[in-house]
Amino acid sequence: MSPNEAMTAAQSPSAGNALAGPIRVLLIDDDRKLCRLIQDYLKPMGYDVTVIHEGSAGLTSALEGAWAAILLDVMMPGMDGFEVLRLVRAKSSVPVLMLTARGDEADRIVGLEMGADDYLPKTFSPRELLARLRAVIRRSQPARHSEQAVLPDEIVVGQLRLQPASRTAVLADAPLLLTPVEYDLLLSLAKARGRVKSREQLLEEIRDRNYDVFDRSIDVHISALRRKLGDDPKAPRYLRTVRSAGYLMSHPEAPLP
């Protein structure tokens, strides 16, 4: 993102669509120039961006503050972004958008496996950053009042209970700590329980952007959900893989051990 591009985009008519009220975002990245550009671009859009340039200090701020989202660089000296993400996910489901210098698929897969909500190569445009940030924050919010009328009060599948209005999930009376993407994926499959949903359908429903047909992110999120549900991939009780078709939510009969 060049300074001219950031300034032009910030002064464009689309800047008038700023989100209401300051939205607190934590940016953890050791590239000081890029951080200033991101701050300058997001501020008129309604975002209050706090910048930390070092991983361990960023981790402390991530766990102590109330953030709408975290922008997290992968490559940092000392504690890198993956380690920060791992420790954040042990305690928090705050949306995390990873920033990757190389954009390699391996980096993206590792980040998703560890609980990142999205990833963005550092060749991004300011508008793409804003769109991705808005998307991960929107997915993390409880349903607005106007939407609650069309949402079911509760979806029950075996000992799994989902409450869409509050975006909460409970398994055998124990709350599940899910990322926003994981929750949307689980909710989509639960609402369609007994029916197969293709990877393309799931991507279209939960990610707010286009992916190519080889994108592996759905498989990564399904693996994470199975771990949290205690599902055996070889004999799953909740999330089944239908070869060459997609995934479906089963109707488990037996109680959990």
Domain boundaries, the chain: 3-140, 145-249
End-to-end CA distance of the chain: 52
Q: What is the reported pLDDT for 207? A: 61
Q: What is the distance between the alpha carbons of residues 242 and 36, in angstroms, rounded to a whole number?
A: 47
Q: In this structure, which topology does domain 145-249 adopt according to CATH?
A: Arc Repressor Mutant, subunit A (1.10.10)
Orientation of helix 32-42 relative to helix 126-140, angle to 10°:
70
Q: What is the distance between the alpha carbons of residues 206 and 178, in angstroms, rounded to a whole number?
A: 14
Q: What is the reported pLDDT for 255? A: 44
Specify the amino acid at residue 18: A
- Chain CA centroid to CA 187, Å: 14
Q: H or E segment at 226?
A: helix 217-229
Q: What is the reported pLDDT for 180? A: 83
The domain 3-140 having CATH identifier 3.40.50.300: the answer here is no
Tell me, what DSSP letter sits at residue 13? G
pTM exceeding the 0.75 threshold for the entire prediction: no
Find where tokens 């279209």 sit. Answer: 204
Q: What is the distance between the alpha carbons of residues 32 and 39, in angstroms, rounded to a whole number?
A: 11
Q: What is the reported pLDDT for 61? A: 96
Q: What is the distance between the alpha carbons of residues 204 and 227, in angstroms, rounded to a whole number?
A: 24
Residues of the chain with pLDDT under 70: 1-21, 102-104, 142-152, 207-215, 252-257
Q: What is the distance between the alpha carbons of residues 199 and 180, in angstroms, rounded to a whole number?
A: 18
